[in-house]
Structure 1
Amino acid sequence: MASALTVLFLSCWLAGHSGVWGEPTLPKPSLSIRPSRWVSLGGPVSIWCQGQNQSMRFVLNKEGSNFTPVDTDGFEAVFPISNVSREDGGNYSCSYRGRSEPIAESYLSDPVELVVRDPSLPRPSISLSPTGVTAPGADVTIRCQGQRRDVRFFLHKAGDLNPQRHVDPAGDGAEFRIPTVGRQHGGSYSCSYRNRSEPFVSSQPSDPVQVVVVEPSLPRPSISLSPTGVTAPGADVTIRCQGQRGNVRFFLHKAGDSNPQRLMDPAGAGAEFRIHTLGRQHGGNYSCSYRPRSEPFVFSEPSDPVQLVVAEPTLPKPIISPSGEVFLGEAVYIRCRGQGQGVRIVLNKGGRHVAHVDSEKLEFEFPINNVRREQGGNYSCSHHSRSEPFVRWSDPVELVVRG
């Protein structure tokens, strides 16, 4: 009858030769999928397992099933898949063990998901609410819309490896809400979906949308027009944006246009936007902002607006009165009469803006109390719709000041 010592020795020997010897003793390897863990159907992909010891036997595992081990003299092994099929999608992990000492085995790596993209699945669409640049602290909703039901939608942010997911089995769309938006939420987003019956087969991603967040700590830029005042059609106009820091990209915004015009000026703290051969389509309110080149989805607050007003000879000419003489210290009223209601009436002297008023009446009187010598000269007025900045000048009148 065998002794207890003999039985114990035999049990240890069998355990060692079967590859089981208590807890793993080698450090956990890392696993990566190249070029990406999202691969199109039929495309190539390689799964890399990297350990911390040389001359090891590497084993690739997919959801409990092992692939043929690979022996290598280096620190890593490659498991290539040349023609990816739907069945190749899934969760992979790997481990390694010594070739000469099979009892020395590592822990399993963290799992990595391989997702197969099927081009035959219709691509979803994506939209943002609200659109445009978002104020900090606001709530943003990203909606993904597909053409199939009983699917799971995934939201992807460029640069993030792990998508956020949402299950919506009752419909063909899903909403992802971002409450209290901050600068960390800025980025480029897209979405995809997977049939719930094939959890590792995905549609191609939607076109991207950008979440751009205003950062109040960035100093606001200033904006100026050259030439100033009302500009004749056909002229050239320069809109200058001036900031307080370099290495930024400036954006020019026209009220009502969803896509800003941009210009990069990394050498300085300002940028110029030129409008050649001015037409009435260029009239409007303009502002500018900038974003640091190191944070392309963070904007400064916009500058105060400037209004580009285009002279329009086809509009009815306003009437200005009176002309004549006035004595020093007296009061006089310059009356401007337009051809419509609900307009902005502008008083000019020598071609320069003096005053303006938004009026619901046909005419307005600009008072000059206690007339001074320098207030003599040629005056004209213009009027334009507050929603359409196109103007027509009146004929000038001369105000003569006598002592």
Structure 2
Amino acid sequence: MEIIVAETYYPKPSIFLSPRGKVTLGGAVTIRCQGQHQNMMFLLYKDGNPNALQNMEPAGDVAEFPIHNVSRRDAGSYSCYYHSKLYQYTWSYPSDPVELVVAGSEFLKPTIWVSPSRVVALGGNVTIRCEGRQRSMEFFLRKAGHPNQQVRMLPNGTVAEFPITSVGQEDGGSYTCDYHSIADKSRWSYLSDPVEIIVGEPSYPKPNIYLLSPSGGVFLRGAVTIWCRGQHRGVRFVLNKERHHFPPVDSDGFEAVFPSNNVRREYGGSYSCSYHSRSEPFAVSYPSDPVELVVRDPSLPRPSISLSPTGVTAQGADVTIRCQGQRQDMRFFLNKAGDLNLQRLMDPAGDGDEFHIPTVGRQHGGNYSCSYQLQSEPFVSSQPSDTVELVVGGGSESPAPLGLTSLIIAVVSAAAASLFLLFLLMAFVCFRKTRARKGAAPRPSSTIPLQVLKAPAQQDPVYASINKGKETQTLSQKPDPGTDGLTYTELDRQVLQAKQGGPAPEPTQPSVYAAINVSRGAPQ
């Protein structure tokens, strides 16, 4: 065997299939290799075979390698080289590989996706999944430019898993998968669509993801938009979902939208998004937090809802809300108007479920409805039931805050004190005005006591009238009808002053004081 050491000089050629795409058994395909120089010798290689399959000396810069009556053995990855006819040791770089897929029409192409995201940080873990339509199949994972394929045999399942741990730069690239029958290896599927894994440094913060949908929910054959927003401009956004592969979206701004105008049942599920730079070396983000899309199916019967007890419910009582459906495999959700969070009920044993509120408070009042999701399709929901209103009554209004109560008490106390002082002031003014009308008279000296004269039994007491130079006269003891049991006496101030040895004052009007009859009862 001769070993040839070549000086790499020419740029690599390009390679492609004609017609492009999949090739059926017994069909024909042509592999074309195009260089950048004239009068070159072109050679075609297949991965796994060290020998050149064909060589060609075209007049121009394109060589064609036809394959007639394609068989399974022709499937694989091809590349090509070229060198100068004059200088055989001056070669080009090898072309990028092209995959020739030979598929029969027996099985539909599988679905391929990457979990949790096909945008992966260095050292992370991902799993490539390939789902077929048949059981008892053998699955093959193929990476573009890589001669070795991974194989998974699934006697009973339909989803093959290909985990990649501690992802490195070499794990990035384009992947496809296909499968064939274990019993008859000549029966193959079509090749899946490609999925690309982007590996890079986690230099970008994770994005935010939002679900933009009508207020009534997302219905089958309706519209929905998923919006992903990052923190860098000019990046490429990727939408992630189990069992789905979405084409990436390039954005010159901070966000990207993923619209859908014909929602199907399989669109329901959990979504996340990532973004990365558009060129190598890649800078990537971690996946966003997930958001769930639940698709409403109008063909599912609406559930019914009831409240026990009915009517106005007293605070502290127990309430039961019951949801009823028409199937056995349902999971119920309770919704309160104005509350965006669905309350999931327990999985029922039959066709209904109950939600208990052990101690009702005013915060539980409102309108309630319920819906259900099928356990076999957890992201497909019925339309909501009619609403039922929970009215909570009884009890007093909520007490005012402590600070407000103290303020009210202080204001009321101050107002009451002000009114009382005003009343006293008015009473004092009225008293002064009354005395002024009657004429002011000085009080008798404290050294001259005013004595109460005891009257005989069954008689009213009287006061004495004292007057200088006059005899003491006893006034009639018969009370005036208008005095209500009072007897009056006159005191002569001049006589009192003379008794004390002082000068006689100017004549004044005598002062009249009332005598209260204490021996009698209250006036009749």
How would you bin the TM-score normalised by the shorter chain?
A: 0.5 to 0.7
Structure 2 equivalent of residue 291 of structure 1: 373
Inter-partner Cα distance in structure 2 for 1:80 and 1:138: 36
| TM-score between the two structures when normalised by the length of structure 2 | 0.45
Which is greater in Rg? 2
SS in structure 2 of the partner of residue 281 of structure 1? helix
Between structures 1 and 2, the one with greater strand share: 1
Query: How far does the alpha carbon of each residue in 1:132-163 deviate from its partner, in whole angstroms, 9 at most, with x for none?
Result: 73244442221100000110111122221x22
| Residue type of the alignment partner of 2:217 | V
| Residue type of the alignment partner of 1:179 | N
| 2:181 is equivalent to residue 134 of structure 1 | no
Structure 2 equivalent of residue 145 of structure 1: 229
Counterpart of 1:278 (choices 360, 367, 389) is: 360
Q: Is the 8 A contact 1:152 1:195 kept in 2?
A: yes
| 2:280 is equivalent to residue 198 of structure 1 | yes
The alpha-carbon deviation at position 84 of structure 1 amounts to 3.2
| Residue type of the alignment partner of 1:269 | D
SS in structure 1 of the partner of residue 294 of structure 2? strand
Inter-partner Cα distance in structure 2 for 1:187 and 1:268: 25
Q: Which has the higher contact order (CA 8 A, sep 6+)?
A: 1
Counterpart of 1:42 (choices 123, 127, 148) is: 123
Inter-partner Cα distance in structure 2 for 1:244 and 1:46: 39
Inter-partner Cα distance in structure 2 for 1:313 and 1:109: 67
| Residue type of the alignment partner of 1:262 | R
The alpha-carbon deviation at position 121 of structure 1 amounts to 2.0
Structure 1 equivalent of residue 241 of structure 2: 157
| Residue type of the alignment partner of 1:42 | G
SS in structure 1 of the partner of residue 204 of structure 2? coil
* Percent identity (aligned): 54
Inter-partner Cα distance in structure 1 for 2:193 and 2:216: 39
The alpha-carbon deviation at position 191 of structure 1 amounts to 1.0
**Unpaired stretches in structure 1, ≥5 consecutive residues:** 1-14, 49-57, 95-107, 317-403
Judge which range, 288-297 or 132-141, deviates more. 132-141
Structure 2 equivalent of residue 188 of structure 1: 270
The alpha-carbon deviation at position 204 of structure 1 amounts to 1.7
* Alpha-carbon spacing, 1:33–1:282, altered in 2? closer, same or farther (3 Å): closer
* Alpha-carbon spacing, 1:225–1:204, altered in 2? closer, same or farther (3 Å): same
* Alpha-carbon spacing, 1:279–1:110, altered in 2? closer, same or farther (3 Å): closer
Inter-partner Cα distance in structure 2 for 1:134 and 1:174: 20
Structure 2 equivalent of residue 373 of structure 1: none
Q: Is the 8 A contact 2:117 2:274 kept in 1?
A: no
The alpha-carbon deviation at position 37 of structure 1 amounts to 7.8
Structure 1 equivalent of residue 257 of structure 2: 175
* Alpha-carbon spacing, 1:205–1:197, altered in 2? closer, same or farther (3 Å): same
* Alpha-carbon spacing, 1:46–1:241, altered in 2? closer, same or farther (3 Å): closer
Q: How many pairs does the alignment contain? A: 273
Q: Is the 8 A contact 1:252 1:289 kept in 2?
A: yes
Could you say what the CA RMSD is over the residues aligned between the two structures, in angstroms?
4.2
Q: Is the 8 A contact 1:132 1:258 kept in 2?
A: no
Structure 1 equivalent of residue 197 of structure 2: 114
Structure 2 equivalent of residue 28 of structure 1: 75
The alpha-carbon deviation at position 180 of structure 1 amounts to 3.9
* Alpha-carbon spacing, 1:110–1:213, altered in 2? closer, same or farther (3 Å): closer
Q: Is the 8 A contact 1:37 1:115 kept in 2?
A: no
Structure 2 equivalent of residue 263 of structure 1: 345
Q: Is the 8 A contact 2:141 2:175 kept in 1?
A: no
Judge which range, 284-293 or 261-270, deviates more. 261-270
Inter-partner Cα distance in structure 2 for 1:137 and 1:47: 29
SS in structure 1 of the partner of residue 353 of structure 2? strand
* Alpha-carbon spacing, 1:211–1:87, altered in 2? closer, same or farther (3 Å): same
The alpha-carbon deviation at position 289 of structure 1 amounts to 0.8
**Unpaired stretches in structure 2, ≥5 consecutive residues:** 1-45, 55-65, 77-100, 102-109, 130-139, 154-161, 178-190, 399-524
